[in-house]
């Protein structure tokens, strides 16, 4: 088996390690930390911070939410009217032997009607 598949050999480079440690060393002195804290607190106190929602976005969002509610309400009412029509039609059945005469079934509970609807049983 050859060494080609092992990849490059890792070599210790003390000069590079020392240079990187100098670059990434934490700042010395309290002045840096005090200035950093002041910058952070100034950003937090800023009224137009990054986490606030602009007024124009707020209006658009409220309009979109209202439109979604109206659409969902309309779809709900349409589904309810379809269910009511189906249940009303299921309450009237044609009786065998009477031709086109209609007879009224006994009223059934909404749970029974839903069960009949789901199972397809009349």
Which of 82, 83, 100, 104 lies closest to 92 in space, CA to CA? 104
Tens-digit pLDDT profile for residues 26-64: 888 889 889 999 998 887 777 666 667 777 888 899 999
When pLDDT is cut at 50, 70 and 90, the band that residue 73 belongs to is: very high
Q: pLDDT tens digits for 82-97?
A: 888 877 766 666 545 5
- pTM value surpassing 0.95: no
Overall average pLDDT of the 19-30 stretch: 88
User: What is the DSSP code string of 75-104?
Assistant: HHHHHHHHHHHHHHHHHEEEPTTSTT-EEE
CA 43/CA 45 separation, integer angstroms: 5
Measured CA distances, 82 to 35, 76, 114 (Å): 67, 10, 13
Q: d(Cα 56, Cα 71) in Å, to the nearest integer? A: 23
For the cut 90, the answer to whether the pLDDT of residue 119 exceeds it is: no
In the structure encoding, which two tokens stand for residue 73, read together?
Answer: 């309400």
């Amino acid at each position: 088996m050859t060494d080609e598949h092992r990849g490059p050999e890792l070599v210790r480079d003390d000069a590079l390690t020392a240079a990187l440690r100098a670059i990434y060393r934490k700042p010395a002195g309290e002045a840096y930390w005090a200035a950093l804290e002041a910058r952070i607190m100034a950003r937090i106190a800023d009224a137009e911070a990054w986490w606030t929602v602009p007024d124009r976005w707020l209006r658009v969002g409220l309009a979109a939410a209202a439109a979604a509610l109206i659409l969902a309400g309309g779809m709900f009412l349409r589904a309810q009217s379809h269910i009511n029509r189906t249940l009303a039609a299921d309450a009237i059945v044609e009786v065998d032997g009477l031709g086109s005469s209609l007879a009224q079934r006994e009223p059934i509970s909404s749970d029974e009607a839903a069960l009949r609807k789901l199972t397809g049983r009349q």
